[in-house]
Each structure stands twice: as structure tokens, then as C-alpha cells.
Chain A
Amino acid sequence: MREVTYRDALREAMAEEMRRDSTVFVMGEEVGYYQGAYKVTRGLLEEFGAARVVDTPIAEAGFAGVGVGAAMTGLRPIIEFMTWNFSLVAFDQIVNNAAKMYQMSAGQFRVPIVFRGPNATAKQVGAQHSHAVEPFYTNVPGLHVVYPSTARDAKGLLKTAIRSDDPVVFLEGETLYGLKGELPDEAEDETIPFGKARIAREGKHVTVVTWGRPYWTVMELAKQYAKEGIELEVIDPRTLRPLDHETIVESVKKTNRCVVVHEHWSFGGPGAEIVDRVQREAFDYLDAPVLRASNLDIPMPYAAHLEQKVIVDAARIRETIQKVLYARGENHG
């Protein structure tokens, strides 16, 4: 085991897969000579050359479409969006071409493509650049939506994504790139399957399902709760589509309570989907309503003090957990 940042874990995954499979290539804005806007593609140009690490103009719809076409001919493109906010101009390529080609061509064309890039709120980048896009893409049958919270998951899941024969929306936490985590040695070639949630912490009092940045907030909160004698069971879905609802439901059957914590807006999305699965499949085990803590349901303000009020934070998460514990202030259930 060794300590690697989330950023470098992603780079390792791409480099290893490019070495293993010559059909894999990277394309996007500033991925080559600039070494990546977030330095995720650092060193790839030097190792693999400009034919496999392709700098593009600022034209997301264009290079996303080129990627879909390339995938249809048998290549395995990794399309980097400088941020997922910019994927919105390529939405049609992702939703209408990548996701639907296999079905609409009656199985003639597979689209083994990975769209990846940083997702969700960073710091003071304004309403248009602060999207958590998972609700947009998880709604689309035909897409896998992956969202690693740790460095190890980032690498293992990206390798699985690159090897997938179907299109993958790969969301990276914009504020997670610098986080370090333990990774197995390169020789181990660890891949992490889609549709398998990770129980990040075992507990018996309340199940908390979370991913991305809030995952880390919840893990910190779990330590504080442990001191109060309350054990959170923290589950990271890792892939939002397919969603490993069995693991979540089994956990709720044990704890009888569930809170879902996410950065995306509260209306719909994977957060609401999880609540729906839990209430359907663990109804007779629920001792409290399933609640969610999320960013507030408004476009992100630019002003720092307002932005902090919108982003889901420890206080909001704690308040939500207290409610499902039927606890107020000092006492708990």
C-alpha cells in the first residue's frame, strides 16, 4: 500500500489502461501540453504522444461527438470535460448519441466511451460553474454514472469505466483531487466493479448514504457521533447508476433509519431515488422517515458567505441525523 492523491490515482488508471490497450486515448481541452486543467493528465502526452493525448479547441459538443464516433469504430476514448458544467453544451451527444446508439442501432454499435471531469461545487465559481450534474445523467438509461469519493475508488472505478463497453459518465469531486488515500501497488491491477456500494464505516444506529465531498464531512461527523455513543453506518454507493440498493436496504434493515447526504439539488436525482428504494424495500423496517441533507435548492450564489450557506455542511447533516434519531440537543435514541 502507498499514499496517492485522488488526482494521481486517476492519472494512474488512465496511464495503466493506455499501456494495456492501445485503443484507449484521451481527448479534451488542455489535456496535453498544459498537462490538464487540474493536472489529472500530467505526463500522459510525454508517454503516449499527441496521437493518443489530443488537445481540442473549446468545443465540447464537437469533441464529445468525435469521441462517440471514435467509440463506434472500436476505439476507447476518454473525453475530459474541463468541468462537468461544460458538458451541458455536449448534453445532446451524451444523452442522445452515446446513451442511445446501442439500442437504436439494434446492437450494431457499442459506445465504449468515458466522459470524465470535475463535478460539483468548488469555491466561488458562480452559479453556472457549480453544478452537481449527477441528477441530469443518472436519469438516462444507457449511461453508467460513477462517482468515486476516495483515491482508491477513483482508480479502480476509472479502470472499470475504461474497460466498459458502454458509455460511462465519470464524476470526480472537484475539491477531492488533492485528497490522499491508500492505493494497492500498480502491479495488482485493482478494478472495482460497478453496482457495488462500499460500507465505509459500520454502525448500528443510522445508515447514512453519501458520496463526493459530503462523504468526507459525514466520515468526520461519524467520529464525533461515536464519542456520543452513536454509530453511523456510512455507505458510499460508488456508482449511482447502477445503484447498489441491496447494500443500502440491508443496512437500513439493521439500523431502521436512513439519511441521504448529497451536493446535488434536492428535487429528484439519485438522492431521491435512494429514498424511494429504501421506503419501498425496507418499509417495514423504518422507525423514522428517510430524510436528506443537500445543497439548498437555489442557483449557487457567488458571494462566499452565501455560498457557504448553500453548500451542505456538517451542521445541516447533523441536524438531519438528529431528526431521524428522534434526538434533540443532548438526548438521543
Chain B
Amino acid sequence: MAEIVGLPKLSPTMEEGTLARWAKKEGDEIAMDDLIAEVETDKATMEWRAFDKGVLLKILVAEGTTLAPDTPVAIIGQKGEDIAALLEKLGAGAAKASPPAKASPPAEASPPAEASPPAEASPPAEASPPAEEPVPASPAAQAVTRDAPAEASVSKPTRTADGRVMASPLVRRMAREHDFDLSDVAGSGPHGRIIKRDLDAALAAPKPTATTSARAGRQPPVEQPLSQMRKTIARRLTESKQSVPHFYLTIDVDAEALHQARIRVNAELEAAGEKVSVNDFLLKAVALALRKVPTANASFAGDRILLHQNVDLSVAVAVPDGLLTPVVRDADRKSVLEIGKEVRELAGRAKNKKLKPEEMTGGTFSVSNLGMFGIEEFSAVINPPEGAILAVGAVREVPVVKGGAIVVGRAMKMTLSCDHRVIDGAVGATFLAALKKLLESPILMLV
């Protein structure tokens, strides 16, 4: 018997998902565990796999549609089944079509009733958390953690993460009366609520007409819907900048020894086809420096401070429509080469959106490196609930006075953003000094 299938809830915190790609066409046979579609959630693109076998009789939503869990997305049944009645039912109760009942359909014909998440995507198992893991209110809150170096300015603070516009009842009534779209109004009330004065200002503002923009030879901006990741970035980083008291410490490191060390190590590794990057050394040094200055490996948790006993580094990775922060666990206990391999493997999967939620959560400290873009220095937004983030600039050639002569040396600037509620200036400075020492004498990483 054919059944209407709803969008599965593929992560514990998924409140909506975008049907990114149908892996099956209408009429395709579905075997157990077949990939039916890919769904972009707040965390990652998740695979929706068949729980049972059947035939995909009808696709109800186009790729790219964002939906709440359980919204009907397909009809699955047996080959050649008549689905007219089901389509009619959907038409009738379109808005509130109920998710398919789970009730024991006949084994053979049974469609994937409420496909449960595939094993891969099952809720995060914990990955060696610190003694008292600073679990955020929802794991989703952690999903996209890192910042872009510049403050991403949020243009529409009136929308909540789930896209709802916050407005006072008065404003809603006025908007109805004026047939005015509130989604373009910035709210000045608490939590970005649009209040009367905001709407008054918006109503008073001259509306750009087609003719005026044409006359000025200007084009209106192209509207781009927010991806799940973009929404999360916007929400998380706004929260961070608004609620975490940031301060910044910048230090300049002599990178010559590090440069030499890398050349020598890579010469040794060449035969095995391996190599390490400056960033791999840097992550190792950061992890060791955090061991030496454990008070910098801490989080503010409301009524107490969490001193993390593991060093789990969140590494910012730019991906096509945003950024992700896969976590290198226990980085202090891994070799530079191990760290390097792990980062490259995680980054590769991050770019393909194949990271599991638990691989992006639970970091204790973040590192963001924009050196490859030639950025000399920048300051980064803290990735809550972590207590600090290190923003690393490019290794650059600088004139250095050595033995009375000017020679070419190497330097690298790093800026530490600290949450002042947990990390004071002296602690941050001590950490940076320890890090500088390790980077300038890489041999110390051995002891």
C-alpha cells in the first residue's frame, strides 16, 4: 500500500531541512538502505536512506525546498499502484498533511515509513569530552562554529534562526494594514524585535522605484535565501559578539626556525609521500601551549568555569557557502604528522559537507588561519562556548638584523581573541608567550 512519506528528522536538533538532492527518480526501485535523498540540515548534509524497500511513486517537493520535519515529501509504495487518492488527500490537507503512520504495513509492500536516520547520522556519540564537557544547550548550537575574520555584519537581526520575523503585535497589525513586508525591516527592540518606531521609519523611508534605480543605472541587490549554515553562522556569531566580552592580544613570532624545521621534516617525509604544513606545526604548538597554560583552555559556563582536561582544537575550514570547524581531538597527544593528516581528512569532508555533527562539536579552543590568503593579521570572533580563538596570519619575509647585517628573516603575527569572563589579559599573554617560545624553538615540542 502506498504511503505518504514525511521529511525525516535527521539530527536531534533539526527543525527544518533543505531537500538538497533526490538520489532516486520517480519510478525507481528502492532497496533497503538505498540513498533516497540528501538533506541539508542545520549541521551538515545528511543522507536519507531507505528503512524498507518499495518504489518511489511520486516526488512531492523540488530540490532546494526547505521544510519542517514530517512535511510530506514523497509517496512510496509498490510498482503501478494508484496514488490518486493519496494525492487528493495531500491536496485537501496540504498544509497539515500528517506524517505517515508507522503502523505495521505489510512487510513486502511497506514503504520506508518515517525513515529513521541512517546509522551514520545517528545522534552524536561523545568523543572523549573533557571531564566536564561544556555541552551547549543544543548540539546544533555548535554546528557551525567559526567566524569569518571580519565581523560578519548581520543585515536582518529581526529574524530568528528559524526564519521567523520578530515584531510586536502592533507592528504586525500596521504591516497588514499597509501591506508591508516586515522581512526587510531591522528591529531595534529586544532580540531584534521590530517595534513601532522601526516600522514608522521604514514606512517613512522613500521606496526605491524601478525608474529611480534605472535612472541611476543601478541594479537592485540579488536576493539570496539563507542556507542553513548561513543562518547558523549569523545566529552564533551575533550571539558571540553580543554576549561574549572579547579582548585581543597580538604577538609577532620569529618564524625562521619553524620554516627550517618544516623543510627538514618534509625532506625526511618525502620518500613516504608525506608532508607537513606550517599550520600543522602551529596546531601542535597551540595544543602544547594550552597544556602549559591550562587556564587558557577553559569555558565560561554561566555560574562556573570549565577547565578542560582535553585539548580539542576546532580548526576553521572555509567551505563553499560558509565555514565549518572540525575538531582535532587530543591534539596535544598527536604528532605533527598525525595532526596534519587528520586536518586534511576532516577539511576534505567538511568541503563535501560530509562531516558528522559530533565531528564539529565539543572543541575547547579554536584556530583560524588566513595566512594562505596573505592576511598579515586579523582578529577572530570567539566560537562559544570556547574561551578563546587564535587568528593566525601569513608567514612573511622581513628584514632582520643579524650579526650587524640586514638579512631576510621570517615573521608571523597571531592574534588571540579571549573571553574576558574566563581568560584575563595576563593569562592570554602567558599563553601567547608559551606558544611563541614553542614556535621559535620547535625542538621544544619534543619535550
Contact = CB atoms under 8 A, between A and B. Distances in A.
A256 B170 contact: yes
B395 interface: no
A282 to B, nearest CB: 9
B188 A326 contact: yes
A284 interface: yes
A104 interface: no
Contact of B169 (A283, A326, A333): A283
A88 interface: no
A286 B170 contact: yes
A284 B189 contact: no
B371 to A, nearest CB: 41
A1 B125 CA distance: 81
Interface in A226-254: none
A286 B171 CA distance: 8
B25 interface: no
Contacts of A287: 168-171, 195-196
Nearest to A285: B170
B172 A284 contact: yes
Interface string A202-240: 000000000000000000000000000000000000000
Nearest to B199: A287
B173 interface: yes
A288 interface: yes
A199 B168 CA distance: 26
A231 to B, nearest CB: 16
A285 B195 contact: no
Interface in B152-205: 168-173, 188-190, 195-197
Contacts of A286: 168-170
* Tier of interface size on chain A: under 10
A256 B173 contact: no
A288 B167 CA distance: 9
A283 B169 CA distance: 6
Interface in A276-329: 283-288, 326
A54 to B, nearest CB: 54
A263 B171 CA distance: 32
A285 B173 contact: yes
Contact of A256 (B188, B189, B196): B196
A284 B170 contact: yes
A256 B199 CA distance: 14
Nearest to A333: B197
A287 B188 CA distance: 12
A333 B170 contact: no
A283 B173 CA distance: 10
User: Which of A287, A288, A333 has most B Cβ within 10 Å?
Assistant: A287
Nearest to A256: B170
A78 B422 CA distance: 65
B168 A288 contact: yes
Interface string A129-161: 000000000000000000000000000000000
A285 B169 contact: yes
Contacts of A288: 168, 189, 195
Contacts of A283: 169
A333 B171 CA distance: 14
Contacts of A284: 169-170, 172-173
A283 B172 CA distance: 10
Contacts of B189: 288, 326
A333 B195 contact: yes
A236 B172 CA distance: 30
B21 to A, nearest CB: 43
A212 to B, nearest CB: 30
Contacts of B188: 326
A326 B195 contact: yes
A259 B280 CA distance: 59
Contacts of B196: 256, 287, 333
Nearest to B177: A284
A327 to B, nearest CB: 11
A286 B167 CA distance: 10
A331 to B, nearest CB: 10
B106 to A, nearest CB: 51
B266 to A, nearest CB: 57
A326 B169 CA distance: 15
A288 B197 CA distance: 11
B429 to A, nearest CB: 34
Contacts of B170: 256, 284-287
Contacts of B195: 287-288, 326, 333
A285 B177 CA distance: 13
A328 to B, nearest CB: 11
A191 to B, nearest CB: 38
B333 to A, nearest CB: 49
Nearest to A279: B169
Contacts of A333: 195-197
A308 to B, nearest CB: 29
Contacts of A256: 168, 170, 196
A285 B168 CA distance: 9
Nearest to B196: A287
B166 to A, nearest CB: 12
Contacts of A326: 188-190, 195, 197
B208 to A, nearest CB: 27
Interface string B335-359: 0000000000000000000000000
Interface in A172-201: none
A333 B173 CA distance: 19
Contacts of A285: 169-170, 173
A329 B358 CA distance: 44
B191 to A, nearest CB: 12
A17 B191 CA distance: 57
B176 to A, nearest CB: 9
Interface string A251-268: 000001000000000000
Nearest to A284: B173
**Which of A256, A285, A326 has the most chain B CB atoms closer than 10 A to its own CB?**
A326
Interface string B188-229: 111000011100000000000000000000000000000000
A114 B189 CA distance: 47
A295 B169 CA distance: 29
A276 B171 CA distance: 20
B54 to A, nearest CB: 48
Contacts of B173: 284-285
Contacts of B168: 256, 286-288
Closest A-B pairs by Cβ, 10 of them: A284-B173, A287-B170, A287-B196, A287-B168, A286-B169, A283-B169, A256-B170, A287-B195, A284-B169, A333-B197
18 contacts: A256-B196, A283-B169, A284-B169, A284-B170, A284-B173, A285-B173, A286-B168, A286-B170, A287-B168, A287-B170, A287-B171, A288-B189, A288-B195, A326-B188, A326-B189, A326-B190, A326-B195, A333-B196
Given A256-B170, A283-B169, A287-B195, 16 more contacts: A256-B196, A284-B172, A284-B173, A285-B170, A285-B173, A286-B170, A287-B170, A287-B196, A288-B195, A326-B188, A326-B189, A326-B190, A326-B195, A326-B197, A333-B195, A333-B197
Interface of A: 256, 283-288, 326, 333
